[in-house]
Structure 1
Amino acid sequence: MEAIQALKNQDHSGRRQLKDKLFFYGIIVLSLVTISPIILIISKLVVEGYRQISLDFLIQTTPDTFEAMTAVSNGEKIPGGIANGIVGTLLMVVLASAMAIPIGILTGIFLYENQGKFMANLTRNISDILQGIPSIVLGLISYLWVVKHVTSGFSALAGSVSLAIMMLPMIVRSTEETLKMIPQTLKEAALALGVPYHKVILRVLVPTGFSGLLTGILLGISRILGETAPLLLTALGSSVISLDITKPTSAIPLLIWEFYNDPNMVDLIWSSSLLLMAIVLILNIVSKQIAAKRK
């Protein structure tokens, strides 16, 4: 009887080990399937886009159709670059960040300090709804608010407003969740020492959760970098470098859209996409590293 029982136990153990191995290798296969699209995308961008990457590509403005057509017909590299798009992207991201970061952090602090209250719950729900609104709708709202009534035309300011609205929900929620992770005893100790309430917020909670706040900000920036739809209705685009926030300006996503509509600019599409992908990947990697250090 003992020998039979031992054989049964051994058979049961063998089947269990087989199931464990099948499950383990199944997870590996599914993980490879999950990451394969991003690997294929990056490899395609590198293979097709590296030809145009150079110093001129970063410091010169976009060529016109005739220049591109001449270069393509002669088998040469397309002259010019996307400096106007790079400058326009940086300008609008800086403006959007200047608008969204202070409001987002302060709103997140309000939600943290007033958990369970009606206004905090309402603000949190509105923030969640805002995060799910399509970007083209936010571009339309910015068009009606800024383009029609403030700048009386397409402008970098209008594009920045639409991007700031997109950033806001992510910064709000990341700020609230970061502050929730800070031990309550830290705040209580500061208050017990007689530190004023506003200094507890500014000099204790915010510095302690700085890495988490920075992570949310970087993720918000990486999200808006690739947006095209709202900028079509607000910034419009420009073939020259413009630092005037009341005038139309270009952006890397806008240039990719313009290149797509011109068959002579195909090479610039891949190179611009590669640069944009590299910037977004770097921001995401940095935010992940900061989040890992915070944990």
Structure 2
Amino acid sequence: MKRFLCFLLLMMMIAGAAFASQDQQEPVWEDMISEEEVIAIARAEVAKGFRIEESVLDDYGCTITVKPHHDQPYWEICFEEPEDIAQSDRIFNIYTDLATNFKTHLYPNGKIILPVREVIALRMGLGGHTPNELFDEIAAYSERVLEEYQMADFRIWPLEIRAEYSQKVRPKVQAILESGDLTQLMDGGMPRIEVIAQSTFIYGMPDEKSISQEAALALAKAAITESYGVSPDFLEQDGEINVYYDITNASMPLWKFLFNYTFLRPDMPQEDNPYYKVELNAYDGNITYVDAFPYMRFGLFHDLPYHLKHY
């Protein structure tokens, strides 16, 4: 989504390394356009993306925020639907009925970071709109998690929800794969790669023999620093950390951490913005796997081995 996969591509924003909070002085940008210009560009882009007349947005709330991100801040523009809007007039609920707002993001000079049509496609890919009982069940999980925890992407679900999914949904996906008939996994003529990937491993909860998540994370950061010379502070400030407790091998469960860059700097090629992945024995803390791999914008949709690196 990216992350998307990337519901979180635009939902989980990054804290900037140079700005500990938004209360600090805003950065001075070269070629910075005005807020009025930003809003005008965002309105036009949202109208184009949702295929509506721009005037439809006149009654919508609109807030604009400066978001710090390492050395490349960006604009976030949020459109909020009116409270008294008729159900038939809603537009942001295209991927989930719970959505009442939509955010788009621009670079300082007004360039769109990710076109709205692509954002919609990514989110619908996670939403499971195909009439299918399995996809409906998965979508129900996403909506439940979104409502309870304000997060929809499987990769940032709480451990207990992911463990429940592994018990109730994963066996159904595995049965489909074993049958050889992938009809129930097809969407738009292709199998839902993210459903296969998130149903590959078995997730659970730490037991009394497990080291704590905090201790495991500290070991993971140290492993990345030792292997790649990347400081833990930089890892935390420039992305999000996805956490898994993998019990596929019940005798040696794994803590897994993916340090996930949710936005790329516009002046850097994608291979210079890697993901970092660490897996370690949950009982003794021994590192079992360390990797750095490139962000591929569309790799998640077409390449299962690449997708599995994120889980």
Q: TM-score range by the shorter chain?
A: under 0.3
TM-score by length of 2: 0.21
Relative to total residues, which structure has the larger strand share, 1 or 2? 2
Relative to total residues, which structure has the larger helix share, 1 or 2? 1
Structure with larger RCO (C-alpha < 8 A, sep 6+): 1
TM-score by length of 1: 0.22
